[in-house]
Amino acid sequence: MNYLKNFLATQPGTQPTGAETIERLCDRVQSSTLLDDRRDAVRALKALSKKFRLEVGTQGMDILINVLETDRTDGEIVNYALDTMNNIMCNNPEDDDDEDIPQTNGEVRQEPEDLGGQFTEIFIKKLENVQLLLNFLEEYDFRVRWPTVKLMTTLLCNRCSQMQQIILNSPVGVSRLMDLISDAREVIRNDGLLLLIQLTKGNAAIQKIVAFENAFERLLEIIVEEGHSDGGIVVEDCLLLMMNLLKNNNSNQTLFKEGGLIQKLTPFFDITEASPGGGWSAQKVTNLHLMLKLVRTLVSPNNPTVSIAACQKVMNTCGLLEKLCMILMASGVPADILTETINTVSEVIRGNTANQEYFASVNAPSQPPRPAIVVLLMSMVNEKQPFVLRCAVLYCFQCFLFKNEVGQAQIVQTLLPTTADASAISAGQLLFCYLLVNVTILPITNHGKYAPQGGKLQTRLGLLILLCSWLSDCSIAVTHFLHNATNVPFLTSQITDQAEEDEQLAQGLFALLLGICVHYNDNSIENFTKERLQQLISKRIGLESFEDKLSFVTKSDHYSRAARSPQPRYDAPERVLLDYEFVALFRQYEGVIMKAVRPKTKEEEQAEQKTIEDHAGIVTQYKELIREQDAELHSTKQELQEVKVKLSETEKQLQEQASMVQQLRDQYSLLKATKGRESPQVQQTEAGGGAEEVARLQGELGDSKRVLESKTQQLMERDRTIEQLKNDLTVAEAKAAVREASEDGDAGSTEDSTRPLQERIEVLTREKEELRTQLSSQETQIQTFRTDNEALKSKLSAQTNGPSPDAVAAETAALQAKLAEVESDRACSEEENRRLKEQVQNLQLQNSQLQNSQVQNSQLQNSPAADGNADSAKLEEEVRRLSEEKKRLEEEAETASKEQDDLLVLLADQDAKIKKYRDRLKELGEQMDDDDDDDGDLEDDEDYEDEEEEEEEDGDKEED
Amino acid sequence: MSYAYLFKYIIIGDTGVGKSCLLLQFTDKRFQPVHDLTIGVEFGARMITIDGKQIKLQIWDTAGQESFRSITRSYYRGAAGALLVYDITRRDTFNHLTTWLEDARQHSNSNMVIMLIGNKSDLESRREVKKEEGEAFAREHGLIFMETSAKTAANVEEAFINTAKEIYEKIQEGVFDINNEANGIKIGPQHSPSNPALGGGGGAGGSQAGGGCC
């Protein structure tokens, strides 16, 4: 200060201008190396900052910010700098009566508007500046913290939303500011409250964060500490902040309710003991007023219905509503508070049955006790009461009846006085009497005869509103109204009259009434049917004019004012013209009526008629259709049932049939087998050809077997004949030997002649032996055939049991292979036979030779007859017999050869058959090569062995 | 009002991972498939019981969108628990966990209990993040882990309750300073030695039961 004084003192004559001084001071702040000097300079700037805001701001702002950054450790200089900045930015400086102000008044006045705002903008353009301030808030030093709070508040006042965004972007910004209201130093706490009020204005995000930081609890604590409504302005600030947090912020309202804080509001309204002197301080009134507003915020009709209901319930159960009602009935409550309390009670009970019931049960502490509603209504109808109070009661009464059918019914019941007792006044009576006094209508039941023309506008509008509400959505009322033939002409005349501005509102309502008469007309009154009224409107009033009159209502101030909120808010009694409920009604009917009064063009009418007829037709059509479909459905269901039964039966049958088929199949295969044996040629079908083929082959195999058997028999027979022949030969030999012995001379020769014979016979016997062995081999072959046949049969039966085509194929292949075997065997046996035949021929030849030799022998015998006649005669006889026997033998040989021929023929037949088989097998064989090959290999081996055997046999023969 | 403790939670994580649905399932026991984008922060509350003690959970459901990040940050400091949620059918939400965790650790008090939640476990067919990966991440960063489905309500209760258990244990161990409400923990009125008259708002308890359900 010394510096300043010196500075000012040095030039007493030519006092420097403020700007010059500030320039020097700024220079000083920047250039001084000593902290003390800088501090003094800043202090000087601070002193000038109120008078020379513009100068200090323009020249010193950056310098001051610089000081804040560099000298932040020195609380004092920071304090000066912050104060200076606050001074230049604050548009409404608290006048701490600076003695210099009158001196420089002229200069101050010249500063541009919203200078502080502009400086604020410059300051917050740099986000670091705000962050700097937020960091200062961490400083506990009072000299730093307090001016920071003030400066922040100023900044927020000037550029609220920008500051809010900056603070939001700092993660701890809001919580640091929240810490302020926990500061033990009341000054900081209180200024912190002011700061938070600014901070939370209109920013839901910040409101929520502040609430999250336990703001509600802390604020309620402060209020309690300060003594509720008796507390000072701090309580007011707390309440303002709470209002900010709750208003239109559903999330915070939920948190408030959820945290059980509504209950904590109850003690706020303990005012009975708090009015010792009877007088209420202005602050107390304000506080209480705000407390009531706080309650109303929670149950405002603008909130979501669910949350309103929840809050209303809590308010009733925690006794808050009771406390409010006590205030209502208390004496000495200022009218202002009383009004607001009534409004609060209104909203606490609005649309909540339980609360409405409670309210109805409240009695005023009078003698005799009267219901609070009646007492309130008495105030309402008392024109000496303040108008706002009367409006509040009206609102309260409306809220009481809102969605309250029981209450409505009760009021209706008491409309007319029932007892002569003057003290027993009912609410309905009160209202009714009031109306009677004020309104110049006589018999209300006959509403045609009222004369609204002459009455006050307010009264007329009231009556019109009543009529509109009454007739809307009620055809019977409309009919009654139209029954009075004078009503409609009266309405039309009112609508068509020239009118002043306020009267136009009434005309609009008249138009609405007429419109309602059209819309809810059931055409029961001949003269005033819908159509006639429409014609009347279009001819007498004109549609455009009618619409104009209607739409005038929505354009009027009264309309928009009433539409704003359910609570009646009027400046003066004569302004009470329209109310919220009527506005709702008007909104509902405006469009409907516009449509209803417009007479339908013929096309439209026809179309409508048509559509109606169509509708009727369509409906009947559909009905029939539905009936038909129903019947169909029914029959279909029955059918379904039947079909189901049938299905189950059929399934049973199917099962039976399946088993039968199985049996039949078995039988069939059996039959096939037997049939195949009987007539193999007949069976030649395409499907299951394999099995049939096999069966047929089997049959043929059987045939061939039989043939073979017969052949063997024949062979055996031949064998026997050969045996006989041999025996004969031995007999002949023996005879020859006897003859030899009897005649010695001839003996040698005879012996000579018989020896070759004997030898031949021996050869013959040997050949016979051979034949026999061959036969036995043939027999064994036949045996193999048989076994093969057995195998085939078993396979065939297996095949018929499981007739898969693959198995059949395999079977057929196997069969084929075996047949091939058989064939080869057959070929062998054929060859054998041929050889046998040849041998037999040989044998024949030999036999004939033998005969010849015998003949020669007999000739020889005849020649030596001379020698010994008797002996020779005997010999001759014997020879003759021998020759005869020989002849017989020859004959027998011939028969044998014949038989052999037969055998040959049979063999040829067999050959042909085998060939046929072979062809067929070839056909089959083409189809299944793989199996064929496998089996074929085996067969080849077998064949090879057979061949070897044959070769051996051949070799033996050759050796022979 | 009869609660022993009040815990403040926040739910964080990328947008669309089902934070609001988890809260709705926990507080209202219902699932809303189409949910409006959360603007800023929404609030919900429910009472639970741990160790025979009534505990009130106040839950702030944050917006996942980047533009609300700064607002979200303001809530870390005052929360006792955080549910960090990702979507098992979207790998990017899992990849962003590190960023979320850094943010949370930076702005919260050091004792805040963080529960990692892999939500939408009902969409097994669309899974992109294996359960093991979530477990590994949780182990690595010292978090509790759980997979939940806000749709089927699987593990939803458990997620909130287990977090509360963890906080409760920390209180028992004396880790939390329960007298500092900035930690997101508050002692119930009847447990508070300071002001019984205030909390005993008469028969308020009955009314609170009604409030507690929503």
Give strand pairing partners of A440: none
Q: What is the DSSP string of A210-279?
A: HHHTTHHHHHHHHHHHHTGGGS-HHHHHHHHHHHHHHTT-HHHHHHHHHTT-HHHHGGGG--STT-SSS-
Decide the pairing of beta strands B53-62 and B41-50: antiparallel
Sign of the C-alpha dihedral computed for residues A193, A195, A197 and A199 taken in this order:
negative
Contact A213 B203 (CB under 8 A): no
Interface mutation vs chain B, best among A207, A209, A270, most B CBs within 10 Å: A209
Which of A4-13, A369-378, A504-513, B141-150 is predicted least confidently?
A4-13
Q: Which residues of A touch B186 (CB under 8 A)?
A: 214
pLDDT of residue A231: 79
Across all residues in chain A, what is the average pLDDT?
76
* Cis? peptide before A368, omega within 30° of 0: yes
Q: Which residue among B1, B43, B181 places its CB closest to the CB of A254?
A: B43
pLDDT at B97 over 80: yes
Q: Which residues of A touch B78 (CB under 8 A)?
A: 175, 212-214
Which of A14-23, A409-418, A828-837, A948-957 is predicted least confidently?
A948-957
How close A319 comes to chain B (CA, Å)?
A: 9
Contact B182 A175 (CB under 8 A): yes
Q: Phi/psi at B29 (nearest 5 deg)?
A: 55, 45
Nearest one of A114, A20, A92, A22 to A63, comparing CA atoms: A22
Q: Which residues of A touch B42 (CB under 8 A)?
A: 251
Burial class (CB in 10 A: 0-12, 13-18, 19+), A641: exposed
Q: Which residue has the higher pLDDT, B80 or A451?
A: B80
pLDDT at B145 over 90: yes
Structure tokens at A816: 């084929």
pLDDT of residue A821: 75
Which pLDDT tens digit goes with each residue over A785-801? 778 777 777 766 665 55
Contact B206 A317 (CB under 8 A): yes
Contact B78 A251 (CB under 8 A): no
How close B101 comes to chain A (CA, Å)?
A: 15
Mean pLDDT of B203-211: 38
Burial class (CB in 10 A: 0-12, 13-18, 19+), A581: middle
- How far is it, in rounded angstroms, from Cα B115 to Cα A789? 86
Q: Which residues of A touch B214 (CB under 8 A)?
A: 254, 258, 310
The helix (run of H) or strand (run of E) holding residue B185 is: strand B185-187
Query: Which residue of A lies nearest to B182 if distances are taken between CA atoms?
Result: A213
Q: Which residues of A touch B40 (CB under 8 A)?
A: 204-205, 208
Locate all alpha helices (DSSP H) within A439-556, ordered by sequence: 457-471, 475-483, 487-496, 501-519, 530-536, 543-555
Q: Which residues of B touch A204 (CB under 8 A)?
A: 40
Q: What value, to the nearest 5°, has the Cα angle with vertex A829 and ends A827 and A835?
A: 105
The helix (run of H) or strand (run of E) holding residue B61 is: strand B53-62
Which pLDDT tens digit goes with each residue over A861-896? 555 544 555 666 777 788 788 888 888 888 888 888
Residue count of chain A: 960
Q: Which residue among B40, B45, B73 places its CB closest to the CB of A171?
A: B73
**A-B contacts (CB, under 8 Å):** 95
How close B151 comes to chain A (CA, Å)?
A: 24
Q: Which residue has the higher pLDDT, A860 or B54?
A: B54
Contact A168 B203 (CB under 8 A): no
3-class SS shares of chain B: helix, strand, coil, % to 5: 40, 25, 35
Q: Which residues of B touch A251 (CB under 8 A)?
A: 41-43
**Residue B115: band (very low, low, confident or very high) from pLDDT cuts 50, 70, 90:** very high
pLDDT at B92 over 90: yes
Identity of the residue numbered A597: V
**Residue B59: band (very low, low, confident or very high) from pLDDT cuts 50, 70, 90:** very high
Q: Which residue among A214, A217, A314 places its CB closest to the CB of B207?
A: A314
The helix (run of H) or strand (run of E) holding residue B87 is: strand B81-87
Q: Which residues of A touch B107 (CB under 8 A)?
A: 171-172
Residue count of chain B: 214
Mean pLDDT of B5-25: 91
pLDDT of residue B161: 92
- How far is it, in rounded angstroms, from Cα B114 to Cα B9? 10
Contact B74 A209 (CB under 8 A): yes
A221 and A193 in contact (C-beta within 8 Å)?
Answer: no
Tell me the longest C-alpha to C-alpha distance in chain A.
223
Structure tokens at A349: 């009970």
What does the domain layout of chain B look like in residue ranges?
5-187
Structure tokens at B177: 């300073």
- How far is it, in rounded angstroms, from Cα A68 to Cα A75? 10
Q: Reduced to 3 states, what is the DSSP secondary structure of residue A440?
A: coil
What are the CB-based long-range contacts (under 8 Å, 24+) for A7-16?
Answer: A7/A44
- How far is it, in rounded angstroms, from Cα A269 to Cα A221? 16
What distances in angstroms separate CA A887 from CA A182, A725, A752, B180, one per listed residue? 161, 11, 22, 152
The alpha carbon of A554 is separated from its chain's Cα centroid by a whole number of angstroms, namely 47
Q: Which residues of A touch B60 (CB under 8 A)?
A: 212
pLDDT at B205 over 60: no
pLDDT at A381 over 80: no
Which pLDDT tens digit goes with each residue over A250-263? 888 888 888 888 88
DSSP code at position B193? S
Q: Which residue among A255, A260, A310 places its CB closest to the CB of B204?
A: A260
CATH number for B5-187 (one of 3.40.50.2300, 3.40.250.10, 3.40.640.10, 3.40.50.300): it is 3.40.50.300
Q: What is the DSSP string of A184-195?
A: SSHHHHHHHHHH
pLDDT of residue A467: 80
Burial class (CB in 10 A: 0-12, 13-18, 19+), B114: buried
What distances in angstroms separate CA A501 from CA A498, A694, A713, one per listed residue? 10, 121, 148
pLDDT of residue A6: 52
- Under 8 Å CB-to-CB from A805, ≥6 apart: which residues? A690
Which of A186-200, A261-275, B182-196 is predicted least confidently?
B182-196
Nearest one of A818, A805, A813 to A928, comparing CA atoms: A813
Q: What is the DSSP string of A35-73?
A: HHHHHHHHHHHHHHHTT-HHHHHHHHHHHHHHHHHHSTT
How close A231 comes to chain B (CA, Å)?
A: 17
The answer, for B210 touching chain A at a CB cutoff of 8 Å, is: yes
A418 and A596 in contact (C-beta within 8 Å)?
Answer: no
Give strand pairing partners of A674: none
Mean pLDDT of A803-818: 63
Q: Which residues of B touch A200 (CB under 8 A)?
A: none
Calculate what percentage of chain A has a pLDDT beyond 70.
76
**Residue A276: band (very low, low, confident or very high) from pLDDT cuts 50, 70, 90:** low
Which of A152-161, A195-204, A461-470, B4-13 is predicted least confidently?
A461-470
Query: Which residue of A lies nearest to B197 if distances are taken between CA atoms?
Result: A264
The answer, for B78 touching chain A at a CB cutoff of 8 Å, is: yes
- How far is it, in rounded angstroms, from Cα A318 to Cα A257? 12
The answer, for B144 touching chain A at a CB cutoff of 8 Å, is: no
Give strand pairing partners of B6: B56, B186
Mean pLDDT of A806-825: 69
Q: Which residues of B touch A208 (CB under 8 A)?
A: 40-41, 43
The answer, for B202 touching chain A at a CB cutoff of 8 Å, is: yes
pLDDT of residue A240: 92
Q: Which residue among B43, B186, B211 places its CB closest to the CB of A251?
A: B43
- How far is it, in rounded angstroms, from Cα B114 to Cα B100? 11
**Residue A102: band (very low, low, confident or very high) from pLDDT cuts 50, 70, 90:** very low
Query: Which residue of A lies nearest to B61 if distances are taken between CA atoms?
Result: A251
The helix (run of H) or strand (run of E) holding residue B8 is: strand B5-13
Q: What value, to the nearest 5°, has the Cα angle with vertex A872 and ends A866 and A877?
A: 135
Contact B60 A212 (CB under 8 A): yes
What ipTM is given for this predicted complex? 0.82
Q: Which residues of A touch B67 (CB under 8 A)?
A: none
DSSP code at position A455? S
Q: pTM here?
A: 0.60
Residue with tokens 């320039």: A23
Query: Which residue of B lies nearest to A208 if distances are taken between CA atoms?
Result: B41
Interface mutation vs chain A, best among B3, B74, B100, B194, most A CBs within 10 Å: B74
